[in-house]
């Protein structure tokens, strides 16, 4: 599209059909690699010490980035995505530790709500309430979350049989399920049965625990940007939480995330 006529047509098209830029945020290098492998034309830009990858994925304008680990790193990444890259929606993929009884390794949790389990300004504010907001939890975007849940369910039906019997047996992945509900975040990798039990008692509705989702949710609430988060369950946040973690990331989680993003962006 070199000529003046082509450029004029392109400008008119962009004005009448404004492009929605989608941020694809991965918690792990392995997941980001799976997303970048789907992008034919990505170009990198470094902002705030983070590498952002701009390009296209199935015709969608996309910015892909690692979230960083923990709530502060996640909040900075979310803010840069909105302020500098002008993204209009954010989709986050990662792993989490299962908390609720039926949430098993290999299942997927699509968040409907987010809460910081380590937020505690009591007795000045009720435990878990975020001061200044009058609330403890933030919602995911309902429409984007419904799309992400559909994409996740599609992947869960197809992918386990492609992982191979050795991986399936190692992680007991025969019948993975997709759960929707409360996801909790805090600046701790929860790796003892005592701590996960304490979280279950304090927050009985929580399905799973991770370290970034609620920070993204608060920033997205501040800017009015739709957010959807999917987490593959990598462990049960108990005394065995660390044992198979690297292998799970490599052989299962990154393949789930790549396939879920692929399914989301090809959905009609
Ligand atoms: N991400 C994956 N597993 C986790 C756990 N057990 N605690 C916090 N974040 C996690």
Q: Is the separation of the CB atoms in 128 and 113 below 8 Å?
A: no
> Is 31 noted as a catalytic residue in this protein?
yes
Distance 213 CA to ligand 1 centre (A): 12
- CB-based pocket (< 6 A), ligand 1: 95-97, 189-191, 209-211, 234-235, 237, 241
Categorize the per-residue pLDDT at 2 as very low, low, confident or very high, splitting at 50, 70 and 90.
very low
Please name the helix (run of DSSP H) or strand (run of DSSP E) that holds residue 222, with its range, or none. helix 213-223
At residue 259, the pLDDT reads 93
At residue 1, the pLDDT reads 38
User: Per-residue pLDDT tens for 237-257?
Assistant: 988 766 677 888 888 888 899
Please name the helix (run of DSSP H) or strand (run of DSSP E) that holds residue 73, with its range, or none. helix 71-83
Which neighbouring-strand residues pair with 22? 62, 89
At residue 3, the pLDDT reads 44
Categorize the per-residue pLDDT at 4 as very low, low, confident or very high, splitting at 50, 70 and 90.
low
Q: Exactly one of 42, 212, 235, 262 is catalytic; which is it?
A: 235
What's the average model confidence in pLDDT over 48-74?
Answer: 96
Cβ neighbour number for residue 134 with a 10 Å cutoff = 9
Question: In angstroms, rounded to a whole number, what is the distance separating the alpha carbons of residues 193 and 52?
Answer: 37
Of 68, 66, 110, residue with least CA distance to 233: 110
At residue 172, the pLDDT reads 75
For domain 2-265, say whether CATH 3.40.50.1580 is its number. yes
User: Per-residue pLDDT tens for 130-178?
Assistant: 999 999 999 999 999 999 999 999 999 888 777 888 888 877 776 889 9
User: Per-residue pLDDT tens for 181-225?
Assistant: 999 999 999 999 999 999 999 999 999 999 999 999 999 999 999
Spell out the domain ranges in the chain.
2-265
Residue 72 — φ and ψ, nearest 5°? Answer: -70, -50
Distance 189 CA to ligand 1 centre (A): 5
Distance 155 CA to ligand 1 centre (A): 22
At residue 260, the pLDDT reads 95
Residue keyed to tokens 């199935």: 58
**Model-wide pTM > 0.85:** yes
What's the average model confidence in pLDDT over 61-90?
Answer: 97
3-state SS assignment for residue 206: strand
Question: In angstroms, rounded to a whole number, what is the distance separating the alpha carbons of residues 99 and 119?
Answer: 18
> Is 210 noted as a catalytic residue in this protein?
no
User: Per-residue pLDDT tens for 7-58?
Assistant: 555 445 555 556 799 999 998 888 899 899 999 899 999 999 999 999 999 9
Mean pLDDT over the full length of the chain: 90
At residue 187, the pLDDT reads 98
At residue 244, the pLDDT reads 73
């Amino acid at each position: 599209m070199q000529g003046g006529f082509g450029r004029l047509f392109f400008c008119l098209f962009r004005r009448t059909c404004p492009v929605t830029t989608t941020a694809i945020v991965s918690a792990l290098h392995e997941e980001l690699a799976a997303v970048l492998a789907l992008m034919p034309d990505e170009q990198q830009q470094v902002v705030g010490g983070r590498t952002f990858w701009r390009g296209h994925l199935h015709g969608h304008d996309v910015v892909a980035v690692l979230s960083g680990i923990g709530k502060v790193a996640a909040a900075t990444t979310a803010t840069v995505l909105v302020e500098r890259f002008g993204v209009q929606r954010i989709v986050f993929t990662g792993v989490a530790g299962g908390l609720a009884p039926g949430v098993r390794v290999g299942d997927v949790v699509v968040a409907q709500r987010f809460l910081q389990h380590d937020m505690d300004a009591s007795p000045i504010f009720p435990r878990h309430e975020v001061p200044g907001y009058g609330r403890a939890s933030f919602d995911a975007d309902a429409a984007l979350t419904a799309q992400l849940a559909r994409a996740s369910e599609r992947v869960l039906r197809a992918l386990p049989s492609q992982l191979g019997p050795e991986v399936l047996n190692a992680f007991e992945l025969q019948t993975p399920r997709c759960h929707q509900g409360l996801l909790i975040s805090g600046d701790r990798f929860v790796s003892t049965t005592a701590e996960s039990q304490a979280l279950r008692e304090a927050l009985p509705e929580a399905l799973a625990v991770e370290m970034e989702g609620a920070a993204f949710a608060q920033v997205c609430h501040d800017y009015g940007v739709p957010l959807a988060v999917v987490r593959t369950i990598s462990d049960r946040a108990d005394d065995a939480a660390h044992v198979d973690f690297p292998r799970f990331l490599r052989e299962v989680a990154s393949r789930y995330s790549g396939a879920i993003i692929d399914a989301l962006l090809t959905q009609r």
